[in-house]
Structure 1
Amino acid sequence: MSTTYLHGHHESVLRSHTWRTVANSAAYLLGYLKSDMYILDIGCGPGTITSDFAALVPDGRVLGLDYSSDVLEHARSNASQRGLKNIEFMVGDVHSLDFPDNTFDVVHAHQVLQHLRNPLKAFSEMRRVTKPGGYVAIREGEVSTFTWYPESKDLDEWLDVYLRSAHHIGATPKAGRQLIAWARKVGFEHNDIAATASTWCFNTLQDRIWRGEMYADRVLASAFATLAIDAKIATREDLIRYSKAWRTWMADEDGWLSMIHSEVVCRV
């Protein structure tokens, strides 16, 4: 892809991505699925959502696509462990999909467009390869809507550094709120766009420990850390501070964390 993925594929990132399922990350699409559909899952990563799609369309097929060949090994292993036969994975670029027009019944992307320098080109390509009567389904996390308690100046600063780092590489971290506008720019009419929002929320002890440890590790070890330091947006000392702040948050019995996701299902 003609972009730099801010998170990279460090273990701490994959720890988060393998938690994702259709139930917690693509439930807005469930009412549109039929058992014989052909689904393309863009930016599939370790493939947990992709495998769920395959289980939901037993008479159809699912193709997971990602720009990283390494992460696709995780995806293939996941699908194999689940005994899924109607699924495959390949390396590809969402800006230039190597498929004919009108190939898929559903083209899906979860938290992909926000990382791209040219999200409109990607959206247009997703529409091109979708059959007439099919659906382009996109869900984007609104990172700027991260809400936590107790309040923390260090976490406020972490979020600012994250947003500045994303903008530095030409990404669009506030992509979700633009999904309707982008859909119309690539040719969809308002009547063809179903827009919704849903929320991730982490507030139980188990949730806090899992999410807090994951973010504490990502702050220090993922590609984000290298980029923020190299771009002089943050220092190593800053990142250590943010990591400690996440561990402080997860230890608080009153801890709360939530984030809004914007979703569109566009009928071709």
Structure 2
Amino acid sequence: MKRGMKEVYTHGHHASVVNSHAKRTAESCAAFLLRRNICQENSTRLLDVGCGPGTITAGLAKYCAKVDALDNAPEIVERARAEAERAHVADKVSVQAASVYELPFEDETFDVVYTHQVLQHLVDPVAALVEMRRVLKVGGVVAVREADYSSMLVFPEMAAVDMWRRVYRATCVSNKAQPDAGRYLRHWAMQAGFGESALDLDFSTVSYTTLEECREWGQSWQQRALHSAFSAQAQEYGHASKEELQRMSDDWAAWAEKPGACFYYVNGEILATKE
């Protein structure tokens, strides 16, 4: 962590969070990178910043010669290592605990630096991008995907789910983070030293439309509203009471069983080339 900087991870590492993150795949979360054929199995060295439980990391290893991954939570690093073993890519993957602000690599080490839903939790996302750019080779690409929480909508509408969106965003802001990071990506990348002409920004949607998808998402937030770091922080900052968080939990559980339920949101996705 950068000296003097206090980071608070809004989600935390409750099982309801980590298990949800473990459902992520390279094919779904890094499609904007993979479809460009930038990664080459026989040559590309990639850094995955904020790897979480490692399912995306293991997936990216199928497309690269070597993948280095890091997270700032030692217990999550161990889970990511176990995932690489489970996916039979441990020979191509190296995982360690480290800060995004002080990457433990020499200048111009990587062909690609990838990060997924990380900048939204940082006090200084521009400093993180500067550090990612430092370890990137000239001609290499930083690939970033970030959600925009303002865009998160459900059908049928539920009053306490709408309250959840407001409270979650307020809690992130109290953590000095930016929950709508997706829309900031080009601005931040330019501040970090990337030329505007070297930035390829796009937006995509994530949707949960099947009964199984809605149940998984709703049940995850049913638990998070009561037991995750977000719940504790929301109460500490005065953004929600215990009773309000209980209503959020109940509404998420009820929504997950509603006929025709769906949930969707927008991600910003940027490929930033180091010139």
String of CA shifts for 1:198-238, please: whole Å, max 9, x gaps. Answer: 11100111111111101111111110011111112111111
Partner amino acid for 1:254? G
1:144-163 alignment, distance < 5 Å: 144-163=150-169
What is the CA-CA distance between 1:38 and the residue it aligns to?
0.6
State whether structure 2 residue 66 is matched by structure 1 residue 52. Answer: no
Q: Distance in 2 between matches of 1:191 and 1:117?
A: 27
Relative to the length of structure 2, the TM-score reads: 0.95
The residue number in structure 2 matching 1:183 is 189
String of CA shifts for 1:85-133, please: whole Å, max 9, x gaps. Answer: 1101001111121211101111111000000001110011001110001
String of CA shifts for 1:62-82, please: whole Å, max 9, x gaps. Answer: 011000000111111111011
Question: SS in structure 1 opposite 2:230?
Answer: helix
Partner amino acid for 1:16? S
The residue number in structure 2 matching 1:169 is 175
State whether structure 2 residue 80 is matched by structure 1 residue 75. Answer: yes
The residue number in structure 2 matching 1:102 is 108
Partner amino acid for 1:107? V
Q: Distance in 1 between matches of 2:232 and 2:192?
A: 34
What is the CA-CA distance between 1:197 and the residue it aligns to?
1.2
Partner amino acid for 1:233? H
Moved over 2 A (4+): none
The residue number in structure 2 matching 1:39 is 46
1:71-150 alignment, distance < 5 Å: 71-84=76-89, 85-150=91-156
Question: SS in structure 1 opposite 2:150?
Answer: helix
String of CA shifts for 1:8-54, please: whole Å, max 9, x gaps. Answer: 11100011110111111110000221112111000001010000111
Question: SS in structure 2 opposite 1:200?
Answer: strand
String of CA shifts for 1:114-164, please: whole Å, max 9, x gaps. Answer: 000011100110011100011101100111100111112211111111011
Question: SS in structure 2 opposite 1:251?
Answer: coil
Relative to the length of structure 1, the TM-score reads: 0.97
Structure 1, 84-93 or 189-198: larger mean CA deviation: 189-198
Q: Distance in 2 between matches of 1:225 and 1:130?
A: 37
The residue number in structure 1 matching 2:25 is 21
The count of aligned residue pairs is: 266
> Which of 221, 229, 236 is the aligned partner of 1:223?
229
Q: Distance in 1 between matches of 2:237 and 2:142?
A: 35
Question: SS in structure 2 opposite 1:143?
Answer: strand
Partner amino acid for 1:26? A
The residue number in structure 1 matching 2:207 is 201
Q: Distance in 1 between matches of 2:79 and 2:189?
A: 31
Partner amino acid for 1:79? A
Q: Percent identity?
A: 38
Q: Distance in 2 between matches of 1:144 and 1:164?
A: 11
Q: Give the structure with the larger helix fraction.
A: 1
